[in-house]
Structures are given as C-alpha cells and as structure tokens.
Amino acid sequence: MVYGLARNSGGSIRVESKRGKGTSFYLYLPRLQQQAPVATVADDRPQPLPRAGAGTVLVVEDERGVRGLVSETLREMGYAVLEASSGKEALPLGEHYEGPLNLLVTDVVMPDMNGLELVEHIAKVRPGIKVLYISGYAAAALADRGLPVDIPNLLTKPFSAQSLVEAVTRALAETPCSPDLRQDSF
C-alpha cells in the first residue's frame, strides 16, 4: 500500500539495509506547490449510515479486520452478510447458499485464488450476481501481479464506511457481471 501511495503521488521509496544494523525505509513525496484549501465541517460527529439494504452480500477478504468492518457496515445498512476469508472458502458459500446472493464483495489480491478468478467461478452458478472489488494495491502493483488495472467497480483501500455504502449502492444498480470474467477478458 505504501509503495502504491508513493508511486501514485509521484514519490519514491528508498531502502537501506545493513546486516546487524537493521533496515530503514525512506518515503519521498513531492513537495506541495500550493496550500490545500481547508475544509470546514459543520458537525464533526459521524453520520449514521442509511438503512437501505435489502438482500444478501457475500464478503470475501483475507484481512480479518477489513472483512469484519465491511461486514459490520453492510449489516448496519440492513443486508444479510455471508463471510469468507479466501476464495476457496467462498466457493461453497456461493454454490450452496440456498437464498439469492445479490452482491459479491471481494478483495482482488488474495492467496490461492484472486478475486477475478473467484468471480469467474461464482458467476457460473450465480449468473445474475453483481460484484464490487476492493484492493489495497495501486494499478501498477496490480499490473506487476499480472492483473488488469482497469477492474470495474473497484473500491481502493483504505476506504470510509460512506465510500463503501456508495460503492455498494452503485454496484447493485449496475448490470450483473458476465459469467466469462477471465483475466484476459479485461
């Protein structure tokens, strides 16, 4: 994530490592040319999330904290939530859950099976499912892993609860995904 932040902002990272002395990381970011405008907020208190959710969402995320936060936010909105920590754990949920699955929220980069591969498998048994991808990797880092950089419905980590709500709403309003989501089809 730090590499992606540095690269996307025109900065760089330098690493120095000496045996027996340790490792130092230096993060270089470009100097701000002008002062950013100061945002004024009338009310600093967190605003309640809208309760507009109806349906079931399958959340697949290998980072327990992120998975828990996404799931909790969706439950607060009124959705029923199924959770999985990997693509392999999500497959039987997607295939055997008896009710409708309205949305699949999946991390793009996970061990064993990435989010694109997971969507390809789930869409075969749930052709009408809609998808929201989440990732902490910048486009360049995705490309370095052989993944497409123009993934549709991609929410970049870190994100706020409000950003998640907006992304879920947009994803549910879109046309269902195609069952043919091979990586080379992007």
So what's the pLDDT on residue 39?
52
Per-10-residue mean pLDDT of the chain, 186 residues long, equals 69 86 84 61 51 83 93 92 96 92 91 89 92 79 66 83 89 65 39
Distances (CA, A) of 19 to 8, 24, 25, 27: 31, 12, 15, 21
Whole-angstrom Cα distance, residue 7 to residue 4?
Answer: 5
Go through the domains of the chain in sequence order and give each one's CATH number: 1-30 (no CATH), 56-178 (3.40.50.2300)
Q: Please report the pLDDT score of residue 59 as a whole number.
A: 97
Q: Which amino acid is at 88?
A: K
The whole-angstrom separation of Cα 59 and Cα 54 is 15
Closest-CA residue to 90 (of 120, 128, 45, 46) = 120
Report field, pTM of the whole predicted structure over 0.85: no
> Residue 146: what pLDDT?
65
Report d(CA 70, CA 111) in Å as an integer. Answer: 19
Q: What is the pLDDT of residue 185?
A: 38
